[in-house]
Structure 1
Amino acid sequence: MIDPTLRRFPLAYVEDLSAPVLSASSRRHLTGPLRLGPGDPVNVADGLGGWAPAVLTDDDAGVAVTGPVVMTPPSSVVLTVMFTPTKGVKPEWVVQKLTELGIDRIGILQTERSVVSYDRGRAERLLRKLQTVVTEACQQSRRLIRPEILGPKSVQELVSQNPETRLCDPAGDVFKTAMGSDSLITSLAIGPEGGWSPAEAEHARLVALPGGILRAETAAITAAVVLVSQ
């Protein structure tokens, strides 16, 4: 549950809570669309679970802490959604929504039937951009712990690192049935529009999401909702 103080005032990420400095983008957002000025209350967070009440200032830092730093421990359950980007849908949009919904680890899959491929340079540029998207989405949704961005990874790499991963596929077991009576699914992977290759499908159990045949981006959002709703 979000602390009432976090709900009431805007949140800005800073690198150091002991000496906070607003980034240029945070300053523009707070003083522009939100129409805040010196003396107005905000909250600052470090993305690692720490946050503190603060006020905007008119000096170079742009903000000053007004209360003690509060530490929020990470959840004991880490939720992961990996997805395969498709043409026409920006991965930034999907990552933004997964962050707002509370997913802890978000990643890009490079599958055998992917229509979007990433060489090393393109992957590095994408991951840098996604880090910015994650920070902005955390501020919007008042998240105190920044999710981890992964990838691009193959299905084999993903399953070897997280054997509990399920591959989402309409032919798989219904989600509730796949869970079992006492189990908890924590990692879901969304494949390309062409589906998983036979070799990829052998690496992990298949699970069907609610609904019909979903677009890749819809499936990623649905996966996040069913994970956080368990």
Structure 2
Amino acid sequence: MPPRGRGPHVFVADLERPELDDDDHHHLARSLRLRPGDPLTLSDGAGRWRPARFGDRPEPDGAIEEEGAPGPPVVVALAPVKGQRPEWAVQKLTELGVDEIWLLVADRSVVRWEGERAERHRERLARVAREAAMQSRRCTLPVLRTGVGVDAARAHPAGVALAHPGGDPPRLGPALLVGPEGGWSDDELSSAPAVVALGPTVLRAETAAVAAGALLTALRAGVVAPGRSVAPPEDQH
């Protein structure tokens, strides 16, 4: 559940002695036009939050609360594509409440984020996720991993499932991997522990990732029921 307090939601390093980053303070004062004493909520990004009042240094206005982490964790992995679409996908996955977001390196990946390049992109996407988490009033920041190979992803303790047309309905537990625009290679599909479908149409890579996040977080929240196979009716002739 999001913090129940009023006003904007901001992350700080220390809830006991909170201080706002210069950029956050500027945004609250100039863009949102908060005045000293206006309410806001503060979070440490690790599941804790507290109400406060705005000022040069925010003044705590209530006890520290802790939001229990929902389970099981939702992990969505996607192969990055060109342009700003990975930023959009990370933003939306964060808003949905996805716990871990991985950027994959698949056999048919055109865009490959590895080494120092992967770390630069991770820092940029971390800023995108932080802003999206504040907007959506999350108390936990998602874990971001870049340069994750498909073989390495299979080491996830709960297993993995590849998104592919004709697969089974998504289920909670395994990390859900979305392939590149060129699709999965034959080797990746043949060695996949599980294959799941995200719908009846062919989706762009970033759309598929967000669809995966929406389905899994909705399953976890009980908003939708798990899919199940339905036996065909008996022949009545």
TM-score for the superposition, normalised by structure 1: 0.89
Report the alpha carbon displacement of residue 73 of structure 1 after superposing the two structures with TM: 2.1
User: Aligned with 1:226: secondary structure?
Assistant: helix
Alignment of 1:83-98 (within 5 A): 83-98=78-93
Distance 1:163 1:71, change over 3 A: closer
Which of 102, 116, 120 matches 1:121? 116
Report the alpha carbon displacement of residue 76 of structure 1 after superposing the two structures with TM: 2.8
Report the alpha carbon displacement of residue 118 of structure 1 after superposing the two structures with TM: 2.1
Distance in 1 of aligned mates of 2:91 and 2:67 = 22
Which of 167, 182, 185 matches 1:194? 182
CA contact (8 A) 2:48 2:64 kept: yes
Which deviations, in whole Å up to 9, do the C-alpha atoms of 1:7-49 show, x marking residues without a partner?
x321110000111110112112211221112111111110011
CA contact (8 A) 1:43 1:53 kept: yes
Q: Percent identity?
A: 40
Aligned residue in 2 for 1:41: 39
Aligned residue in 2 for 1:210: 199
CA contact (8 A) 2:3 2:139 kept: no
Report the alpha carbon displacement of residue 154 of structure 1 after superposing the two structures with TM: 1.0
Aligned residue in 2 for 1:66: 61
Q: Which segments of 5 or more consecutive residues in structure 1 lack a partner in the other structure? A: none
Report the alpha carbon displacement of residue 211 of structure 1 after superposing the two structures with TM: 3.5
* Paired letter, 1:224: G
Report the alpha carbon displacement of residue 119 of structure 1 after superposing the two structures with TM: 3.2
CA contact (8 A) 2:156 2:175 kept: no
Alignment of 1:16-165 (within 5 A): 16-58=14-56, 62-165=57-160
What is the total number of aligned residue pairs between the two structures?
218
User: Aligned with 2:193: secondary structure?
Assistant: coil
Distance 1:186 1:10, change over 3 A: farther
RMSD: 1.5
User: Aligned with 1:229: secondary structure?
Assistant: helix
Distance in 2 of aligned mates of 1:132 and 1:35 = 22
* Paired letter, 1:111: A
Distance in 2 of aligned mates of 1:119 and 1:69 = 39
TM-score for the superposition, normalised by structure 2: 0.87
Aligned residue in 2 for 1:226: 215
Further displaced range: 194-203 or 47-56: 194-203
Distance in 1 of aligned mates of 2:125 and 2:11 = 15
Report the alpha carbon displacement of residue 171 of structure 1 after superposing the two structures with TM: 3.4
Distance 1:186 1:25, change over 3 A: farther
Distance 1:70 1:148, change over 3 A: same
Distance in 2 of aligned mates of 1:227 and 1:209 = 10
User: Aligned with 2:154: secondary structure?
Assistant: helix
Distance in 2 of aligned mates of 1:186 and 1:227 = 10
* Paired letter, 1:120: G
**Which runs of at least 4 in structure 1 moved beyond 6 Å after TM superposition?**
none
Q: Which segments of 5 or more consecutive residues in structure 2 lack a partner in the other structure? A: 220-237
* Paired letter, 2:38: D
Report the alpha carbon displacement of residue 195 of structure 1 after superposing the two structures with TM: 0.8
Report the alpha carbon displacement of residue 169 of structure 1 after superposing the two structures with TM: 0.7
